[in-house]
Amino acid sequence: MRRFAHNLAATAAIAGVAGYLLAAAAHGAAAGERIALVAAKFTFSQPEIRLKKGRPVTIALTSPDFMHGFSVPDFNVRADVVPGKAVEVTFTPDRSGRFAFLCDNFCGEGHDHMSGFLIVTDD
């Protein structure tokens, strides 16, 4: 009996984890890719971000030092990245190519170089 109970509990636990993973996978499919990006004087943590055309992406932004901007003018996306706050922008690139993103809040000596590229591919 004790062994049966143990097996039951283990099965339930496995089912629970599997269910969580399935739910997470389903959520991920709906929300698309999620990318963490840190904006700090005077760089972004990823100078190039590879994305798929037509697939939604969420950029999760943080900043340790200044209210940087995150702007992708070609996709009409921008946000202020307030230190101490998690900021997310979600969008779907509808074109393939190479698109600039930049800090568009003047942040200091290296501001003019604080930029990167989204590389959007067809498949």
Partner 1 sequence: MDEQRYSRRDFMQMAGVGGLVFASGLPGCATYGQSRPDFNFIQLSDIHWGYDNPKVNPDSKGTLRKAIATVNNLEQPPDFIVFTGDLTQTTDDPKVRRQRLREFRDMAAELKAPKVLFFAGEHDASLDRGEAYQEIIGGPLYYTFDHKGVHFIVLDNISDPAPILGAKQIEWLKTDLARQQPDAPIVVLTHRPLFSLYPQWDWATRDGMAAIDLLMPYKNVAVFYGHIHHEHHHMTGHIAHHAAQSLMFPLSPVGTAPQKTQLPWDAAQPYKGLGYRTVQATAAGTPQRMQELPVKA
Residues that bind partner 1 (CB under 8 A): 67, 69, 71, 73-74, 99-100, 102, 104-109, 111-112, 115
Of 63, 62, 59, 41, the C-alpha closest to 49 is 59
Q: Measured from the CB atom, is 11 or 121 closer to partner 1? A: 121
Q: Measured from the CB atom, is 109 or 123 closer to partner 1? A: 109
CB 100 → partner 1: shortest distance, Å? 4
CB 58 → partner 1: shortest distance, Å? 22
CB 22 → partner 1: shortest distance, Å? 41
Contacts of 40 by beta carbon, 8 Å cutoff, 6+ apart: 63, 64, 65, 68
Please answer whether residues 40 and 62 qualify as being in contact, where contact means their C-beta atoms are separated by less than 8 angstroms: no
Beta strand pairing call for 57-62 and 87-91? antiparallel
CB neighbourhood size of 120 (10 A): 22
Q: Measured from the CB atom, is 65 or 88 closer to partner 1? A: 65
Q: Measured from the CB atom, is 88 or 112 closer to partner 1? A: 112
